[in-house]
Amino acid sequence: MSRPSEESVRAEVRAWLEANWDPELGLVEWRDKLIDAGWGAPAWPSAWHGRDLPAAVAAVVDQEIRRIGAVGVARTGIRTLAAATLLAHGTDFQKTKFLRRSLTGEDTWCQLFSEPGSGSDLAGATTRADLKDGRWIVNGQKLWTTSAHHADWGLLLARTDWDKPKHAGLSYFVIDMRQPGVEVQPLRQMNGHASFNQVFFTDAEVPQEHLVGQLGGGWAVATTTLMHERRNAGGGGTSGAAAAEARKGRIYDEERAETATSLEPYKWYPQRAGRVDLILERARATGAIHDPVVREEIAKLLILAKSAEWTARRARAAQVLGRPQGPEGSIGKLAASHVARAAARVHTMISGADAMLAGEDGPLDGIVAEILVSVPAVSIAGGTDEIQRNIIAERVLKMPRESTADQEASFRQIPRNAVGG
């Protein structure tokens, strides 16, 4: 079967949009129409709401949706990771139950990976899942879980076998976050936001059909989730909500309400990236641009930021062409940490002691202060800088893996910070 051309796809979707787009429809009603026509996720398999289009060709669909001013499917937050993971590893039951509702935005998700006792050592998870009377019973704690406070479902990595090596004893589940055995406690960050949480499981239940992949195969499934998370780090949704602010219609009103909830946990993310876009304007406004030392640091920062941008573009181009994940994800993630720290340093050089002032008293109504206390998050979230360096060393540079005593040993015998087993 020949690959459809961009021109033919563009003509087909344009004609369909002109015949079907109506801003007075309800948000879910419109997204259902998009999904039924295969235009909501055209790169997905046709068996699962898509059109089997190559990613490069499917990109023109988003262009046409934006051109006409229409609203796309829901693509913000963890739901994109959930959909990508279930497409790769889910059963037909799971795809039927979850994929469509992730596109309509009816379900929200969170990612239950990190734990207080194992940090970035994801394979050291001690949250346990035990099979009893045909259901998995989950007990333990997760930490740094973004959006858990309003999630319907969670992507859960839990230990199902304590006698196997730590990577082999993990399984991956979809868990109902609304059940009585799940307690979510928001955590206040030093920048004043509370976008992530700690989650406690006390005899929470997971039906057997919510096991994703093979029993004991959770590490491979989690790797898929992390691959998409790192590849899309710093990316945003494509719902068009910002443009919708100036438009009228029921669908825009509903989308604005949805966006206010779904994007709330991420509103401080631009600050954690360092806000390189504000540097030159601030330097000119304060006169710091005339300081040769400051100018030199600004030049270094802009070079670093541009190099990181090109790396990110290569990753996106590879994704559009359907190529497998390369080293760009970890390299880009590590570069983002360097850029953010360099930007925080330059902001401090420009603003001096005023950079510590928060709120209306501070530079840019406190944005500079928020940058300084938010930047450390980039070096931690989604895998620490140390983890990314290990990945680059082992998978890109092909250096020998560091030998550790816990790789082949029974997890039950491994000393650890958290008690379990």
Q: Give the domain CATH number at 126.
A: 2.40.110.10
In a domain, 399, yes or no: no
**CA–CA dist 313, 301 (Å, integer):** 18
Instruction: Identify the pLDDT of residue 170.
Output: 98
**CA–CA dist 81, 88 (Å, integer):** 11
Measure Cα distances from 159 to 19, 173, 307, 421 in Å: 51, 11, 40, 9
In a domain, 218, yes or no: yes
**CA–CA dist 275, 283 (Å, integer):** 13
Of 170, 143, 173, 175, residue with least CA distance to 159: 170
In a domain, 397, yes or no: no
In a domain, 258, yes or no: no
Residues 42 and 128 in one domain: no
pLDDT digit string, tens, across residues 326-382:
666 778 889 999 999 999 999 999 999 999 999 999 999 999 999 999 999 999 887
pLDDT at 258 over 50: yes
Residues 118 and 64 in one domain: no
Residues 84 and 69 in one domain: no
Residues 133 and 197 in one domain: yes
Instruction: Identify the pLDDT of residue 246.
Output: 61
Examine the fold and report which residue of 73, 95, 128 is the final residue of a domain before the chain moves on. 73
Residues 14 and 152 in one domain: no
Residues 157 and 225 in one domain: yes
Residues 26 and 143 in one domain: no
User: What's this model's pTM, rounded to 2 decimal places?
Assistant: 0.87
Residues 149 and 16 in one domain: no
Examine the fold and report which residue of 231, 265, 294 is the final residue of a domain before the chain moves on. 231
* Structural domain boundaries, residue 33: 8-73
- Mean residue pLDDT of the chain comes to 89
Confidence of residue 301 (pLDDT cuts 50, 70, 90): very high
Residues 49 and 85 in one domain: no
**CA–CA dist 403, 390 (Å, integer):** 12
* Averaged pLDDT, 139-156: 95
Residues 34 and 119 in one domain: no
In a domain, 100, yes or no: yes
pLDDT digit string, tens, across residues 162-215:
999 999 999 999 999 999 999 999 999 999 888 889 999 999 999 999 999 999
In a domain, 41, yes or no: yes
In eight-state DSSP terms, residue 162 is S
Instruction: Identify the pLDDT of residue 420.
Output: 43
129, two tokens: 């899942």
Residues 58 and 120 in one domain: no
pLDDT digit string, tens, across residues 206-240:
999 999 999 999 999 999 998 888 766 544 333 44
Q: Write the secondary structure of 346-367 as one string of H (helix), E (strand) and C (coil).
A: HHHHHHHHHHHCCHHHCHHHHH
| Residue 193: CA count within 13 A, CB half-sphere | 20
Q: What is the CA radius of gyration of the chain?
A: 23
In a domain, 391, yes or no: no
**CA–CA dist 332, 329 (Å, integer):** 5
Q: How many domains does the chain have?
A: 3
pLDDT digit string, tens, across residues 63-122:
999 999 999 999 877 899 999 999 999 999 999 999 999 999 999 999 999 999 886 788
Confidence of residue 267 (pLDDT cuts 50, 70, 90): confident
In a domain, 343, yes or no: yes
Return the amino acid letter for 102: S
Residues 220 and 110 in one domain: yes
Measure Cα distances from 391 to 108, 307, 335, 397 in Å: 30, 20, 14, 9
Percent with pLDDT over 70 in the chain: 90
User: Which of the pair, 133 or 391, is modelled with greater confidence?
Assistant: 133
Measure Cα distances from 324 to 15, 260, 339 in Å: 33, 34, 26
Examine the fold and report which residue of 30, 48, 73 is the final residue of a domain before the chain moves on. 73
